[in-house]
Chains A and B, each alone.
Chain A
Amino acid sequence: MDFKLSEREELLRKSIAEFAQREIVPLVEEMEKTGEFPRSLIKKMGDIGLLGLVTSPEYGGNGMGFLARAIAIEEVSKVSGAVGLALQVHHMACWPIETWGTEEQKKKYLPRLTNGETLGACSITEPSGGSDVFGLQTTAREEGNYWIINGRKCFATNSHVADVIVTVARTGEDEKGRPAFSAFIVEPSFPGFSLGREEHKMGFRGAFTGELIYNDCKVPKENLLGKIGEGLRIGLATVNRVGRSGMASVGVGLCYASLEEASKFAKERVLYGKPISNLQAIQFMLADIFALAETARWLTYRAAWMMDQEMPCDTEMTLAKLVATENAFQCARLACDIHGGYSAIQEYPVQRYLRDAWVSIPSGGTSQVAKVVLGRHVIKNF
């Protein structure tokens, strides 16, 4: 067992932290105000290599892998959970295209997704089904050289910036009579596609979350991703392995952001003639934040590392996601406690961490759904 990060990973952390300070920090205030994703950032994220972390070099990525991705998303999320979310969902478009796509699909879409031309989206959730995937109503039927998609997707991250959307729709029934789904790669320029509402969220402000509407949307046949009927497998694998590990890393970033702000404030705030960091009650809260943050980080790194080793890791991903997002909220709560009344004031970022952490919990699957998965695992294995 080796818990030491390599020189490569340490250097990655350092360079992404510098990138985040230089390129993202100055945008945060505006993102909070407008709720819009700063498009100018996409090219910069491409240039630094963030967009190509899980894409092979032959398709324009750097293929550094999932542990590297965990570190990078963590560093980004330390300064902006919203950019962390947008980035992690972007990878949820890259990964299934490389894993299940045809050579033509990979050559067509992956270079655009890695060089900073555009972001990707992965849109599965519908008003009728978030946790309940069999409740998805969107349909696709074959017609000539096209698939005709009808339906409405909601909660799609990057909805209003993405030019490449991986989506899932019903294409029939399986042998047991259950709905069968297929996955598709959709471009917003396809006829019959339109953008719906853009949600105004309490957290992750500056990451787009919105509706995608398919109204007899004509998707060329060659844009079927994987085989007919494989859509649920593709969608769930993407959510489990890329989405959950990504959300876990956003959570870890928020945990450490809270830790740093809490410690800084405790050392600066003077009461009774001394910094409040001298009070043991404050030290206890700092210790709690530290323990929550470290737990989240190492569960997340383990899951990501297992993914890099091509080990089965759905359980570990779910565990990391559950713990990291719940811990992010607790860390932010404690950091706010330490800030007293100042936690209510927008100049202090802890209130943003609290809002972001809250929204991170349902993103990528609620905690209850994670516990359903983990509970089943326990009953089966212990």
Chain B
Amino acid sequence: MPEAVVCVKPIPDPKHWDRLSLDPKTGVLRRGGIPTVINPLDKHALEIALQLKDNFGWEVTVVSMAPPETTQTLREALAMGADRAFLASDRLLGGADTLATAYTLAGLIKKKAPNFQMILCGNMSLDGSTSQVAPQIAHFLGVPHITHVSKIEAKDGITFKVTMDLKLAQLILEHQGPVVLAVTKEVNLPRLVNIMGILAAEKKPLEVLSAADLDLDLSKIGQNGSPTRVRNLFMPEIKRRREIIKGEPDEVAEELINRLHQVGML
């Protein structure tokens, strides 16, 4: 059966982002015990794979690179209906930028799902928002990619009509063969996890792999293998300003309009 691979990223639950803060010295994100959830767009990606499973009997494999305590988020993907999950988890992988992440995920896919027909990703992760990983995975695996996917029609399970939504224009593409797709939230409404799924997920394979298990080039993984670094991370300060414009009503009105023009409000 054809196999779909879904890349899933555990992120701090966006519902609790008001509890996030930055360490002013190190610039490291303080998570403050916020629960981890599947990056919301990744659930839309998983839904596509699960529909291919329901309609055409595909197999669905979930892959992720994350700390070991995030297995629960992968279990959730299994509970939604995926068949198996692989988690690359290793201290050596920590601090990876998008390129090192994509290299690692591509290595995991080569090792565990080399015959994939489709790799599905969210168009971006809500916590990183780079949108780089999916195209980079495609690069490492030598397959084409389509991003901003807002619609997929799986005609016969072989040829796919894919809509790429560029906001100003829509591109409709027809595709056959192995491909990486990065989807937007418009693509579908992900199914809910049901209780039978939770019970079934406990019996499904979930394997945690180390860097060594994946035959990776150690110079390309983790922080050391990352060509980019975050120089500074800061919360923009949004301050209210108050200014009192004095004068005759006509003058004040004119001055106000000028000022509003200056700051681009009019």
**Which residues of A are at the interface with B, using a C-beta cutoff of 8 A?**
7-8, 10-12, 14-15, 18-19, 22, 47-50, 52-53, 62, 64, 68
What mask results when residues 135 to 174 of chain B are scored 1 for a CB within 8 Å of chain A, else 0?
0000000000000000000000000000000000000000
- Known pairs A62-B199, A64-B199; A11 contacts B194 (CB<8 A): no
What is the chain A residue whose CB lies nearest that of B189? A22
Chain B interface mostly = helix
Sample of 11 further A-B pairs with CB below 8 A, known A10-B72, A15-B195, A22-B192: A7-B71, A7-B72, A12-B195, A15-B76, A15-B79, A15-B193, A19-B192, A47-B194, A48-B194, A62-B195, A64-B195
Chain B residues with Cβ under 8 A from A11's Cβ?
Answer: 72, 75-76, 79, 193, 198, 201
**Which residues on A sit within 8 Å (CB–CB) of B255?**
none
Evaluate contact between B196 and A49: CB separation under 8 angstroms: yes
Residues of B with C-beta under 8 A to A68: 195
Are the CB atoms of B195 and A48 closer together than 8 Å? Answer: yes
28 contacts between A and B (CB under 8 A): A7-B72, A8-B198, A8-B199, A8-B202, A10-B72, A11-B75, A11-B193, A11-B198, A11-B201, A12-B198, A14-B193, A15-B79, A15-B193, A15-B195, A15-B198, A19-B192, A48-B192, A48-B195, A49-B194, A49-B195, A49-B196, A50-B195, A53-B195, A62-B195, A62-B196, A64-B195, A64-B199, A68-B195
Residues from chain B with a CB closer than 8 A to the CB of A64 are: 195, 199
A14 to B202, CA, bound (A): 16
Given contacts A8-B202, A64-B199, contact A14 B76 (CB under 8 A): yes
Query: Which B residue sits closest to A68, measured CB to CB?
Result: B195
Which residues from chain B contact A15 at a C-beta distance below 8 Å? 76, 79, 192-195, 198
Render B180-194 as a binary contact track against A, CB cut-off 8 A, 1 for contact.
000000000000111
Q: How large is the interface on B (under 10, 10 to 19, 20 to 34, 35 or more residues)?
A: 10 to 19
A22 vs B43: C-alpha distance when bound (angstroms): 15
A172 CB to nearest B CB, Å? 42
Interface residue ranges, B against A (CB under 8 Å): 71-72, 75-76, 79, 192-196, 198-199, 201-202
In angstroms, Cα B79 to Cα A19, docked, is 14
A64 CA / B192 CA spacing, docked (Å): 18
Residue of A nearest to B202 (CB): A8
- Distance, CA A19 to CA B192, complexed state (A): 7
Q: CB distance A18 to B192 under 8 Å?
A: yes
| Complex Cα–Cα for A18 and B198 (A) | 14
Instruction: Give the docked Cα–Cα distance between A19 and B197 (Å).
Output: 14
Q: Which residue of B lies closest to A72 (CB)?
A: B195
A130 to chain B, nearest CB (A): 33
- Cα–Cα, bound, A15→B193 (Å): 6
CA A214 to CA B76, docked complex, whole Å: 47
Q: Considering the chains assembled together, what is the distance between the CA atoms of A342 and B201 in angstroms?
A: 45
What's the nearest-Cβ distance from chain A to residue B47, in Å?
14
Closest residue to A15 on the B side, CB-wise? B193
Least CB distance from B143 to A in Å reads 33
Chain B residues whose C-beta falls within 8 Å of the C-beta of A49 in the assembled complex? 194-196
Residues of B close to A8: CB separation below 8 A: 198-199, 202
| Closest Cβ–Cβ distance, residue B14 to chain A (whole Å) | 14
| B193 x A18 contact (CB < 8 A) | yes
CA distance A12 to B194 in the complex (A): 8
Which chain A positions have C-beta within 8 A of B75?
7, 11
State the CA gap A220–B192 with chains docked (Å): 40
What CA separation (Å) do A49 and B202 show in the bound complex?
A: 16
Write out the residue numbers on chain B whose beta carbons fall within 8 Å of the beta carbon of A14: 76, 193
Q: CA A197 – CA B1 in complex, angstroms?
A: 58
Question: Nearest 8 A-B pairs (CB), nearest first?
Answer: A49-B195, A15-B193, A48-B194, A62-B195, A49-B194, A11-B198, A19-B192, A7-B72
Q: Give Cα A247 to B76, complex, Å.
A: 29
> Smallest distance from the beta carbon of B87 to chain A beta carbons, Å?
14
Q: How many whole Å from B175's CB to the nearest CB in chain A?
A: 32
Tell me which residues across on chain A come within 8 A of B199, comparing CB atoms. Answer: 8, 62, 64
**How far apart are A147's CB and chain B's nearest CB, in angstroms?**
36
CB distance from B10 to the nearest CB of A (A): 13
A50 to B199, CA, bound (A): 13
Q: How far is the CA of A11 from the CA of B72 in the complex (A)?
A: 8
- Nearest A residue (CB) for B18: A267
Chain A neighbourhood of B192, CB < 8 A: 15, 18-19, 22, 48
CB of B190, distance to nearest CB on chain A (Å): 10
